[in-house]
Structure 1
Amino acid sequence: MTDLYYIEDDPDIACTVKEYLEQKGFAVTICATLAQAKHALKMHVPVLVLLDWNMPDGRGDSMCRWIRGGWKELPIMFLTVRGDSSDIVFGFENGADDYVVKPFALEVLYSRILALLRRAGNVSEQYLSCGGFRIDQNRRSVFGSSGEISLSAAEYQLLLYLMENKGKTVTREKILEQVWDVNGNYVNDNTLTVTMKRLRDKLNQPSCLKTVRSVGYRMEDTI
């Protein structure tokens, strides 16, 4: 299924859109507040965000700016209750890719979603998230709650491999094979120990990075 987030505080509208889009093959997660949506995005990045303009804890334009701060290419579609051109222009200025004015026909919304996804592609695949940290694979950048984190090439590859296997315990042998030996660079076991220590220090000893004693490591969501 193709997953998307629908940020909407009206339960009737949200449920109607969710039921329709799920019949079309989408997996829809409804977020009733901006805070809930931010938490969901830190855990997982969908292929698209549907964003209502007026929310109980803020406006859609502020949410759009927040999303763009971490996921620059993630498609965002505003759903605005008014056809006010100033709202629409303001939305685009803050990073929206498209908009639909309420009330809207579900068929129209569906066709606009498909068109936007065709233009954007599956952007969500470039982002990996875990425990409040995220990787932008296209830019080879790592971000935490306080901004971008500078990592060496080995530290980045180690974190990337762990995030690609989020929720799984990976052995030290497998990490050495995939992160170093795959490039034909023989290293000893101490190299992983040192690199892991440096990575943990730069991530401020994150609780999401677990040591599985005598086996290896595991990344898992903790927030």
Structure 2
Amino acid sequence: MSRILLLEDDLSLINGLSFAFQKAGYALDVARTIQEADRIWRDGEYDLLVLDVTLPDGSGFEVCKKVRKVSSVPIIFLTASDAETSIIMGLDIGGDDYITKPFKLAVLMSRINAILRRSQHFQQAPGELCSNGITLQLLEGRAYRDGVPLELTAAEYKLLRLFMEHPDMILSAEQIMGKLWDCRGNFVDGNTLAVYIRRLRAKIEDDPAKPTRIATVRRMGYKWNAGGGLE
């Protein structure tokens, strides 16, 4: 049974989600403040965190940052804040998904199920990926370029991992967004994805203006060149 920690201060929403999660077979713990979440997080192990952003004693972003220092547990932000800056920040600091209120319960449950499936798949994956001078240590969540550590955001790391897990395959923008964020263009659109790819190229390419690792395939998408060089 997967265990979920819900950080939320709206009692009516807590009651509704508690019923839905338990009906779906998930074990749920609830925190209504950041202080309570910190205590509960230290006391238990969870398969997923669902965090509100605006809490009485601070921001769910603070919890995410603390957790990411020690754990790669999946995190979903569930919040009324739909500002683009908040969405990008939530993903960049380590969030796996960002859902705005009001939301449809069926959509939330589908995203939770998808994230948990991916998390279980990653846990069963090999411990290391290597190609074209880039190495990912999957269990530690670290990336290296020619042996030198790379400073990647959580979103950049996930994007790089997705490419390296599909070497020499063309991935459309829709496929990438769907696999990483389970979105259908709701908050991560093609322009935002292009920004992530540009940032990632700046860190892993010898010449970001002439990328040889992440190639753009015109009108089709992007491809990880496992062997290097342009075709």
TM-score normalised by L of structure 1: 0.53
SS in 2 for 1:121: helix
SS in 2 for 1:96: coil
- Call closer, same or farther: CA 1:49–1:81 in 2, change over 3 Å: same
Task: Report deviation, 1:80.
Answer: 1.6
C-alpha separation in 2, matches of 1:45 and 1:103: 29
- Call closer, same or farther: CA 1:62–1:109 in 2, change over 3 Å: same
Match of 2:78 in 1: 79
The percent of aligned pairs where both chains have the same amino acid is 33
Match of 2:46 in 1: 46
C-alpha separation in 2, matches of 1:11 and 1:119: 30
Structure 1 runs of 4+ with >6 Å offset: none
1:8 aligns with 2:8: yes
C-alpha separation in 2, matches of 1:122 and 1:12: 34
Q: 1:70-149, aligned counterparts within 5 Å?
A: 70-71=70-71, 73-121=72-120
Q: Which one has the largest radius of gyration?
A: 1
Q: Map Cα deviations across residues 8-65 of structure 1 (whole Å, 9 max, x no partner).
A: 0111111111111110101111100111111111111110000001011111111110
Structure 2 unaligned segments of length 5 or more: list them: 124-138, 141-231
C-alpha separation in 2, matches of 1:82 and 1:69: 24
Match of 2:25 in 1: 25
C-alpha separation in 2, matches of 1:75 and 1:94: 12
- Call closer, same or farther: CA 1:16–1:119 in 2, change over 3 Å: same
- Call closer, same or farther: CA 1:56–1:123 in 2, change over 3 Å: farther
Instruction: Report which structure shows greater RCO (CA 8 Å, sep ≥6).
Output: 1
Task: Report deviation, 1:82.
Answer: 2.8
Match of 1:196 in 2: none
Q: Map Cα deviations across residues 80-120 of structure 1 (whole Å, 9 max, x no partner).
A: 20321111001111111111110111111100001111111
C-alpha separation in 1, matches of 2:19 and 2:45: 21
SS in 2 for 1:30: strand
Match of 1:34 in 2: 34
Structure 1 unaligned segments of length 5 or more: list them: 125-137, 140-223
Task: Report deviation, 1:123.
Answer: 8.2
Which letter maps to 2:58?
A: G
- Call closer, same or farther: CA 1:67–1:33 in 2, change over 3 Å: same
Which letter maps to 1:91?
A: G
Preserved CA contact (<8 Å) 1:51 1:78:
yes
Which letter maps to 1:12?
A: S
Preserved CA contact (<8 Å) 1:47 1:122:
no
Which letter maps to 2:3?
A: D
